[in-house]
Amino acid sequence: MAEIRKRIAIQQRVLPTYRIPFFDALAAECERGLSVFAGKPRRSESLDVGARPISAKFALGKNIHLFDGMAYLCWQVGIMNWLRAWQPDVLIMEANPRYLRSGAALNWMKARGGKVIGWGLGSPSPPGIFSEMRMSFRKRFVSRFDALVTYSQLGAEEYAALGFPPDLIFSAPNAVAPKPVLPLPERPSSFRNDKPNVVFVGRLQTRKRVDILLKACSMLPVEQRPALVIVGDGPERRRLEALAKEVYPDARFTGAQHGSDLEKIYRKADLFVLPGTGGLAVQQAMSFGLPVIVGESDGTQSNLVRDENGWTLTETSAEGLSRLMRNALGSIPKLRSMGAASYRIVSQEVNLENMVDAFASAIRKVTEG
């Protein structure tokens, strides 16, 4: 039986395919339905946005993207028509003042007695001479929300530092998959064929930094150089294949893999490495009992990758990654123990079920008090 007896609306700048399982799972908890509004990304973002929700409703808006980098702004055409048609009791929206229609949506909800929950990464101190002014603006912006949802404890602390009431801040793990249904895979006490098996899974684009992974493998001692499997496709594939021939011919490019084919790759692996940003495959790799090395990102992985199950690459260089890999591959018992910790974390803490529960708690808090 659905537990949330309110009509829910969720605003997103874009709707990436990886987020759809969450929206469908949350929609299943909403007795009066859930609708998602989003526009399209810029072509340069290389986001997969082709899929649509099944349980949740979806309204496609039009994003007008303005400027770049720190000056980026987005005007979402159609958001007010969507709100008027859907008539939600609660609006969950990205807590990002760069989206220029956020103020109008907030005003509309407040005018009719609705509740608004902000969803964001947190609010780190901005650099530059205008940092105080920017922080003051952020404080005024987030104060308009009835509750905030963030991915990590760090994000919660940053929102609290803005003066937002801690009891109205909810931490929802950034999950893309449910709890694993299969038991922890059993791996041998030695590497297969006396060679470690390292896997990368993700879209092949510049920000994933697969280039430094190839170079890092070539810098390892001969006895630690792995069978490197690179799973995925994308605009960088041809360049990376050419680089691999030059610096690390043992790398194997499989293209995109799914289902049982991808599962077989994970089960044969000893270590998962993602040197760049992103990281949607990290939770999936952990569900197969793999220790992980990840690039330093935006804080969303801080609750996922810890000392007990992996390493965070703070120095984004081939030399820095090679040092971490040398440490990781130096002790097979420790590698297996850390893989078991990964499995425990995604089984008990960072999973789709707990993410849905956190959002449901926030909705109940603002509607029931």
Count of all residues that appear for the chain in the document: 369
> Rounded to an integer, what distance in angstroms lies between the CA atom of residue 54 and that of residue 57?
7
What pLDDT is recorded for position 280?
A: 76
Choose among 349, 364, 367, 368: nearest CA to 171: 349
Q: What is the pLDDT, as a whole number, of residue 301? A: 65
Question: What are the two backbone dihedrals, phi and then psi, of residue 109, each rounded to the nearest 5 degrees?
Answer: -65, -45
- In the structure encoding, which two tokens stand for residue 103, read together? 């103020």
CATH tag for 192-348 (out of 3.50.80.10, 3.40.50.2000, 3.30.70.2860, 3.40.50.2020):
3.40.50.2000
The whole-angstrom separation of Cα 25 and Cα 31 is 12
Largest Cα–Cα distance of the chain, in whole Å? 67
Contact 170, 361 (CB under 8 A): yes
- Dihedrals φ, ψ of 88, to 5°? -75, 155
Q: Are strands 227-231 and 252-255 parallel, antiparallel or unpaired?
A: parallel
Contacts of 335 (CB under 8 A, 6+ apart): 270, 271, 291, 328, 329
Burial class of residue 295 (count of CB atoms within 10 Å of its CB; 0-12, 13-18, 19+): buried
352-368 and 20-27 helices, crossing angle to 10°: 50
Cα gap 291→306, rounded to integer Å: 10
The boundaries of every CATH 3.40.50.2000 domain in the chain are 8-178+351-368, 192-348
Q: What's phi and psi for 99, nearest 5 deg?
A: -90, 110
Token reading at 7 = 């009509």
Cβ atoms within 10 Å, residue 7: 18
176, 350 in Cβ contact below 8 A? no
Task: Give me the tens of pLDDT residue by residue for the chain, a chain 369 residues long.
Answer: 468 999 999 999 999 988 999 999 999 999 999 999 999 999 888 778 889 999 999 999 999 999 998 899 999 999 999 999 999 999 999 999 999 999 999 999 999 999 999 999 998 877 777 778 888 889 999 999 999 999 988 899 999 999 999 999 999 999 988 999 999 999 999 999 999 999 999 989 998 999 999 999 999 999 999 999 999 999 999 999 999 999 999 999 999 998 899 999 999 999 999 999 877 799 999 999 999 999 976 555 667 899 999 999 988 899 999 999 999 999 999 999 999 999 999 999 999 999 999 999 999 999 997
Rounded to 10 degrees, the C-alpha dihedral 238/242/245/250 comes to -30
Instruction: Supply the Cα-derived Rg of the chain in whole angstroms.
Output: 22
Residue-by-residue DSSP string for 316-366 = -SHHHHHHHHHHHTT-HHHHHHHHHHHHHHHHHTSSHHHHHHHHHHHHHHH
8-178+351-368: CATH homologous superfamily?
Glycogen Phosphorylase B; (3.40.50.2000)
Which among 35, 27, 26, 80 is positioned nearest to 59, based on CA atoms? 35
Residues 6+ apart with CB under 8 A from 328: 271, 291, 293, 311, 335
Task: Return the number of other C-beta atoms located less than 10 Å from residue 294's C-beta.
Answer: 22
